Structure 1
Amino acid sequence: MSTLLLRLGAPLQSWGTSSRFVRRNTDRAPSRSGVLGLLAAAQGRRRTDPLEELLGLRIGVRVDQPGRLERDFQTARTRDGANSMPLSYRFYLADAVFAVAVEGDRALLESLERALRSPVFPLFLGRRSCPPAGRLLHGLAEGGVRDRLEQHPWLASPWVQRRHQEPTKDLDIVVDCPPGESDAELVRDEPISFDPRERRYEWRSIHRTAVTVPNPAYHAPTSGPGPAVDPFDPMAAFEGIA
């Protein structure tokens, strides 16, 4: 199997799998339905087009930079301005970065890579107001999802890497897994249809674990004598008095 690696980063992104009515939540990591929707948009698939070809892909997400949760609210009135509509709340992840590994047949992944380089429809990270920023494609290579997520360098922003004063970093990952696997969780974000008249999502199994990657911004302390120490002790004058 081959795996295509993507970097999903932006000032704002939102990945809702359980939003209802006036409250639109976001998950802490990209959803399967959101990633497949991004790939379908790049290919030019319309919401009414079948998704069977994409449903066979296996997806894994590594949380390289978790970001922070932000809440926005929107107001609205009726067209004549006479009545106020209920407040609606929107939740986003601000300044987050994710490494997303997409595993499948190489020919399909090569076509997806070409589509992502020249997408038919605009790409967005969960919502239309959240376009991706920075380098999206990080190569197609042999190996499975976990192999790519373990081996690929940390994709967090340089300032985040510099603030982490350790040689390695533990990163959470979420990977598709077979039903019934030990410690598996069920999430309802397997898209069967994006048709607005009949949206359908089924349950899928995921496994949460972690991987350790090197920190490219870490610099080990240099050996040898350290800086000279000032022998002056401002409290020494009080020792005799005490």
Structure 2
Amino acid sequence: MSEPTGVLTLRLAGPLQSWGAASRFARRATERAPTKSGVLGLLAAAQGRDRSADLSDLAALRFAVRLDQPGTRVRDFQTAHHADTGKSMPVSERFYLSDAVFVAAVEGDRDLIGILHAAVRSPVYLPFLGRRSCPPSRPVDLRAHPSGLWKALEAEPWQASTWVQRSRARERRVELEVIADLSAGDGPGDAVRDQPLSFDPRHRRYGLRSVHSRAVTVANPLSAPRRAFVPTQHDPMGLLED
């Protein structure tokens, strides 16, 4: 008999986010959506785990992220100096997602999901959206669901900003992209080096995981009601009659 599972959904919204998966040296890129390693790092920090702690239970969680408001990619240049010598370091090029909103979901053992839900509601270390310079603008925790990763993502209300929802008021329901861990029967996927093995700063390690993309449909809470067409009584020939 399989262990009961649950799903924890998280809202990741802020002025800036940055989710790097392949950053090197002075160029710090961002993926277009939160990474599994980044979100699991947020959960580990909320629990107060040491960076050298075992991650096997978190790494086993199934992960997906819904792109509610993709945002805009922006670039920044940063300078720094060595604290001891004062010598300038190379200028670094850093990329961020501006004004983006995502709903991330992790699925796994129900007891672990409950522990993680409690942790994000009262975190040991404050959550950040990929980097310490990127705090969330809204509470991260949404809720815990009994089971079903896709059912949870379909059940969560659209988290986009009010102005985005109003801009699509003609649509009663909107289609949102979801990037998720590949499961048996999902078909072909893409391999990304985003499976966290160790957050130890002396030797961070990441493995490959397979992902695929599909869509879910959710209601637009600010959709305008459709008005029935009422024909006018105007007679264009009336002025020509005696």
Q: TM-score, normalized by length of structure 1?
A: 0.88
- Residue of structure 1 equivalent to 2:180: 175
Q: What residue number does 2:135 align with? A: 131
Against the structure 1 CA distance between its residues 160 and 228, is the aligned structure 2 distance closer, same or farther, given a 3 Å change threshold?
farther
Name the residue aligned to 1:208. 213
- Structure 2 vs 1, CA of residues 227 and 75 (structure 1 numbering), >3 Å: closer, same or farther? farther
Retained in 2: the 8 A contact 1:185–1:206?
yes
Deviates more, 1:44-53 or 1:32-41: 44-53
Q: Which whole-Å deviations, capped at 9, do the CAs of 1:139-187 have from their partners, x for residues lacking one?
A: 1112221111122211111110000131121111011124795221101
Is the aligned partner of 1:71 residue 2:72? no
Paired residues of 1:99 and 1:155 also in contact (CA < 8 A): yes
- Aligned residue in 1 for 2:93: 89
CA apart distance, 1:56: 1.4
Matched residue type, 2:206 = Y
Q: After the TM superposition, which parts of structure 1 deviate over 4 Å for at least 4 consecutive aligned residues?
A: 77-81, 226-229
Q: Call closer, same or farther: CA 1:227–1:220 in 2, change over 3 Å.
A: farther
Amino acid at match of 1:134: R
| Pairs aligned (count) | 229
Query: Following superposition of structure 1 onto structure 2, how do residues 1-242 of structure 1 map, counting pairs within 5 Å?
Result: 1-77=5-81, 84-164=88-168, 165-178=170-183, 181-223=186-228, 225=230
Q: Tell me by how many angstroms 1:77 deviates.
A: 4.3
More displaced 10-residue stretch of structure 1: 117-126 or 70-79:
70-79
Deviation at 1:76, TM superposition (A): 3.1
Computed over aligned residues only, the root mean square deviation of the Cα atoms, in angstroms, reads: 2.0
Aligned-partner residue type, residue 49 of structure 2: R
User: Any conservation in 2 of the 1:10–1:133 contact (CA below 8 Å)?
Assistant: yes
**Structure 2, gaps ≥5 residues long:** 237-242
Stretch deviating more after TM superposition (147-156 or 23-32): 147-156
Q: Is the 8 A contact 1:179 1:205 kept in 2?
A: no
Q: Return closer, same or farther for 1:219/1:89 CA change in 2, 3 Å cut-off.
A: same
In the aligned structure 1, how far is the partner of 2:100 from the partner of 2:128?
14
Contact 1:61 1:98 in 2 (8 A): yes
Q: 1:110 is matched by which residue type in structure 2?
A: G
Unaligned runs of 5+ in 1: 232-242
Give the TM-score normalised by structure 2. Answer: 0.88
Structure 2 residue identity aligned to 1:144: G
3-state SS of paired residue (2:200): coil
